Amino acid sequence: MCVYRSFIRPLLFQLEPEQSHGLAHEFIAKGTPLLAAFGKKFIYSGSDLKVSLFGTTLSNPIGLAAGFDKNGDLVHGLKYLGFGYAEIGSITGQAHEGNSKPRLWRLASDDGLINWLGLNNEGAVKIAERLATSKFSVPIGITIAKTNKPNITGNAAYEDMLLSFRAIRHLPLMYVALNVSCPNTLDGVLEETGILSSVVEQISKENAANLPIVLKLSPDSSDKLIEDMIEMGKKFSIAGYVCGNTSVSRAGLNTAEAEDIKVGGLSGPPLKPLALSLCRKVYELKDKNQIIMGCGGITNGQDAYDFIRAGSSVLQIYTSLVYEGPSVVRKINEELSALLKRDKLTLAQAVGIDCSAKARQ
Ligand SMILES: Cc1cc2nc3c(=O)[nH]c(=O)nc-3n(C[C@H](O)[C@H](O)[C@H](O)COP(=O)(O)O)c2cc1C
């Protein structure tokens, strides 16, 4: 019997989604000794899923996706939830309270979420100061986005993203992600590489520590925009892609009320087909040395395996942590390990195996 699903989740789900997130967050932030005591329960102990990401060996390929620890105050405890790594943020140049409420909805019949949080965070400088004195229990990446204010455009948008990069570039990070695909900003979604290209070019000039830079892409982007992003990624030696962000799609949902939620990005199982398709497209177009971090609706080992076979080297989860609780990472790893054994493949051998032979060469 799963204690989380049977007892804790029903209590948490009595509360507003943001309130229960706050409680879970508080528990991880303050309850690390308790989590550490339960450590064995949540940590995958096998060594078959160890994977190297940008030169760092991860204990397993499952990372915490962006948005759960927006302000970097959980980094000391994330190991005890079994994660192999975590992505902090998105952080922005200015502190921002996010969009007005309501802005987070559960789709109970889909095990999904719709969020319209709008990049609420304490701002790059404050978060960087916190991280500079924090103990990272797992390797950390950080994602940067533009402050969610429509009046920050053009050169100001460029400066805003660079401010964040300059604030964090001295930290011992595994990578920096540029979130150019958030559907929850008041500016609307990105439709061309324009300003982003200048940001990436300038970051590559100022990146003295050679931090790997990755782009987080949207499953809603046109093929043309994806091609342009990857073209730009090759030009500026981008290290990889997160595939991907939440979607504005509401297709195929079982939760009737979802129709009425006009804003926000969809996450969880209904996102999986869109994210997988993005992953495959990117795998076919990218350079061989660029990696994919697969993300979108990963809830069990089969989902993880599908993303790996579609070209992902590592994975990220958010929504399944909400629905399945803290044992989900271990469960995904155990099931993934069994699937690899069944097919007599190592993790590395499985990456991209469903993609074209040309892309795998
Ligand atoms: C409440 C919430 C907040 C999020 N905030 C961010 C964010 O700040 N930056 C970002 O790049 N992605 C953000 N995401 C997107 C997740 O990182 C992830 O791409 C998406 O949820 C799909 O994964 P999942 O289906 O496992 O949740 C957020 C997602 C949720 C549910």
Residue 243 bears catalytic tag: no
Asked whether 183 and 220 are in contact (CB, 8 A), the reply is: yes
- pLDDT at site 69: 98
Query: Which ligand 1 atom is nearest residue 297's CA?
Result: 25
How sure is the predictor about 190, in pLDDT bands with cuts at 50, 70 and 90?
A: low
**193: pLDDT strictly greater than 90:** no
Instruction: For residues 157-174, give the mean pLDDT.
Output: 97
The reported pLDDT for the residue numbered 259 is 87
Mutate to test the pocket of ligand 1, among 16, 276, 318 (most ligand atoms within 8 A of CB): 318
Q: Indicate if ligand 1 lies below 6 Å from the C-beta of 24.
A: no
Q: What is the pLDDT of residue 191?
A: 65
Confidence at residue 147, expressed as pLDDT on a 0 to 100 scale: 95
- Ligand 1 centroid to 245 CA: how many Å? 6
- Confirm if 192 and 257 have CB atoms less than 8 A apart: no
pTM: predicted TM-score of the whole model, two decimal places: 0.97
Question: What is the C-alpha to C-alpha distance for residues 14 and 19, in angstroms, rounded to an integer?
Answer: 10
Mean pLDDT on 112-131: 97
Confidence category of residue 33, pLDDT binned at 50, 70, 90: confident
pLDDT the model gives residue 195? 83
224-243 pLDDT tens trace: 999 999 999 999 999 999 99
Query: What is the distance between the terminal CA atoms of the chain, rounded to a whole angstrom?
Result: 45
Residue 271: name the closest of 241, 227, 303 by CA: 303
| Domain ranges (residues) in the chain | 3-360
Is the pLDDT assigned to residue 219 strictly greater than 80?
Answer: yes
Identity of the residue numbered 61: P
Are the C-beta atoms of 244 and 271 separated by less than 8 Å?
no
Q: Give the closest residue (by CA) to ligand 1 atom 13.
A: 67
Give the residue, 47 or 361, on which the prediction is more confident: 47
Q: How far apart are CA 274 and CA 114, in angstroms?
A: 15
- Is pLDDT above 80 for 300? yes
For residue 192, pLDDT beyond 80: no
Nearest of 5, 44, 78 to residue 301 by alpha carbon: 44
Write down the catalytic residue from 2, 182, 243, 355: 182
| Three-class secondary structure of residue 217 per DSSP | strand
Compute the average pLDDT of residues 30-52: 90
- Residue 85 makes CB contacts below 8 A (sequence gap 6+) with 53, 56, 58, 63, 64, 138, 139, 140, 141, 174, 314
90 CA to centre of ligand 1 in angstroms? 9
Check if 216 has its Cβ closer than 6 Å to any atom of ligand 1.
yes
Structural Rg of the chain based on CA atoms:
19
- In CATH terms, the superfamily for domain 3-360 is Aldolase class I (3.20.20.70)
**Which protein residue's CA is at the shortest distance from atom 1 of ligand 1?**
115
Token reading at 188: 């609307």
Strand ranges in the chain using DSSP code E only, listed in sequence order: 51-53, 56-58, 62-64, 85-91, 104-107, 112-115, 140-144, 175-179, 213-217, 240-243, 265-267, 291-295, 314-317
Q: Is the pLDDT of residue 211 over 80?
A: yes
The answer to whether the CB of 67 is under 6 A from ligand 1 is: yes
pLDDT 10s digits, 68-114 = 999 999 999 999 999 999 999 999 999 999 999 999 999 999 999 99
For residue 189, what pLDDT is reported? 66
**Span 1-16, average pLDDT:** 92
